[in-house]
């Protein structure tokens, strides 16, 4: 059983909402990125999403775009990110999922990327702009290295494509709760629950929902119908504001503890029933 599956098993056993955190590797620099990942793990993040900076981050809003620019300016590459994960893997309990666009993977070569990711201790990979219809060979390459392939689904994803993603995916399915680019919002998207329900009908995999989540109340709301909430821009903003200051990791830990302690008290009866039904399949 993969570390990702084990993490979601613990989340279910604890009857709480999981927390997936996203950061851009290399922001503010690679050394501090390692400190940030360790801080996230200490604070209790259930899964760590590590973004490989790419020069054309089409799905990212301004907060993460700025983080990508800082990381690239600091000399961060896909190879450097894999080296970073390899350095911190032994000290981090949480699963690590690489979040990337297809270009850096193809430039390195799928087999080389897979080998380096496996050797670094990567648990999952999400390739944002890889079409589901063209993902079979990449998924097989990752599966051969015991790396889970994570798929991203949106409110406009058809039921047929959701079914295909569920068949190919491992670990969990990631739903984006609103259309558009990443970015913290004041409210959860109206269609988030509907999206989660559609995903539940085609998969027994755990479901994580993201895009726009930045507060304990958002985590609580997501916990009504999904297994985990994904926090990205809100956390990246904390990192940007702290910069290279001496209290960077302290602020990162405080933010994650705030989200978890105030936002993840437990799951409601409806989620509990869904979890039981899914486990029985």
Mean pLDDT over the full length of the chain: 89
List the single range of 124-128, 163-167, 271-275 with lowest mean pLDDT. Answer: 271-275
* Known catalytic residue at 60: yes
Between CA 125 and CA 13 the distance in angstroms is 25
Catalytic residue, from 46, 49, 148, 227: name it: 49
pLDDT at 61 (0 to 100): 78
Averaged pLDDT, 124-139:
95
The values of phi and psi at residue 276, to 5°, are -65, -45
**In whole angstroms, how far apart are CA 149 and each of 45, 56, 114, 199, 231?**
20, 22, 11, 16, 20
Alpha helices of 144-247 — where are they, by DSSP H? 159-168, 192-202, 216-222, 233-242
Does residue 45 have a pLDDT over 80? yes
pLDDT at 191 (0 to 100): 80
At 177, the pLDDT band (50, 70, 90 cuts) reads low
Catalytic residue, from 27, 41, 46, 60: name it: 60
* Known catalytic residue at 227: no
Does residue 279 have a pLDDT over 50? no
Radius of gyration of the chain (CA): 17
pLDDT at 60 (0 to 100): 75
Report which listed range, 131-140, 211-220, 257-266, is most confident: 131-140
pLDDT at 34 (0 to 100): 97
At 53-93, the pLDDT tens digits run 999 877 677 899 999 999 999 999 999 999 999 999 999 99
List the single range of 7-16, 28-37, 125-134, 264-273 with lowest mean pLDDT. Answer: 264-273
* 70 close to 26: Cβ distance less than 8 angstroms: yes
Between CA 166 and CA 150 the distance in angstroms is 9
Does residue 234 have a pLDDT over 60? yes
Q: What is the dihedral of CA 47, 64, 33, 255, to 10 degrees?
A: -60
């Amino acid at each position: 059983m993969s570390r990702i599956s084990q993490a979601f098993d613990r989340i279910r056993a604890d009857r709480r909402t999981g927390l997936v955190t996203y950061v851009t590797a290399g922001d503010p620099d690679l050394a501090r990125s390692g400190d940030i990942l360790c801080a996230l793990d200490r604070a209790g993040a259930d899964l760590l999403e590590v973004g490989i900076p790419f020069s054309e981050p089409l799905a990212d809003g301004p907060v993460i775009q700025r983080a990508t620019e800082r990381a690239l300016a600091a000399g961060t590459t896909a190879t450097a990110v894999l080296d970073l994960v390899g350095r911190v893997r032994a000290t981090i309990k949480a699963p690590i999922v690489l979040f990337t666009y297809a270009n850096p993977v193809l430039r390195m070569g799928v087999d080389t990327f897979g080998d380096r990711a496996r050797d670094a201790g990567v648990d999952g990979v999400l390739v944002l702009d890889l079409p589901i219809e063209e993902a079979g060979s990449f998924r097989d390459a990752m599966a051969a290295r015991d790396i889970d392939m994570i798929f991203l689904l949106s409110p406009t994803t058809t039921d047929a494509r959701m079914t295909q993603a569920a068949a190919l995916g491992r670990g969990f399915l990631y739903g984006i709760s609103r259309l558009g680019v990443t970015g913290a919002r004041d409210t959860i998207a109206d269609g988030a629950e509907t999206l989660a329900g559609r995903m539940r009908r085609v998969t027994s995999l755990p479901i994580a929902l993201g895009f726009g989540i930045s507060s304990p109340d958002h985590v609580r709301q997501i916990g009504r119908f999904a297994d985990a909430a994904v926090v990205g821009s809100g956390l990246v903003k904390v990192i940007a504001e702290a910069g290279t200051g001496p209290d960077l990791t302290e602020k990162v830990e405080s933010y994650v503890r705030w989200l978890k302690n105030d936002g993840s008290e437990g799951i409601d009866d409806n989620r509990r029933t869904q979890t039981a039904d899914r486990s029985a399949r």
